Amino acid sequence: MRLVWQLAAVLVVSSVSGQSVAAVEGNPWLTLVLGVLTAALCVLVYRWVAQRTEHRPVTEFARQGAGAATGRRLLIGVALFGAVIADIAVLGHYEVDGLGPATGAVGLVT
């Protein structure tokens, strides 16, 4: 039954956030704000569901060591992103057609 409650929580958060992002499709700044709020909501819902269903303290979001872990994971993510772009470039499918507007880059973050 724990799995059902956990999946139900994920389904509710994803459907509500998906509908809210779809409602503001043409506005990249509002999409960015909604994406950040969705991420925060996901963390809160995960903590709540884990505490209720698993009857344990949620240590995945402990403050101790969070800075070092975040930096390490950010570095790994940037390295993986660079490796994928390098792979696409080696295969000859990467090209830059221009910089484009700054608001276009905001959509990449969300």
Q: How confident is the model over 12-57, as pLDDT tens digits?
A: 998 998 898 889 888 888 888 998 898 899 889 988 998 888 888 8
Rounded Cα–Cα distance for residues 50 and 101 (Å) = 42
The model scores a pTM over 0.85: no
Sort 31 into a burial class: Cβ within 10 Å, 0-12 / 13-18 / 19+. Answer: buried
No. of H helices and E strands in the chain?
A: 4, 0
pLDDT of res. 68: 92
φ/ψ of 61, rounded to 5, equals -115, 35
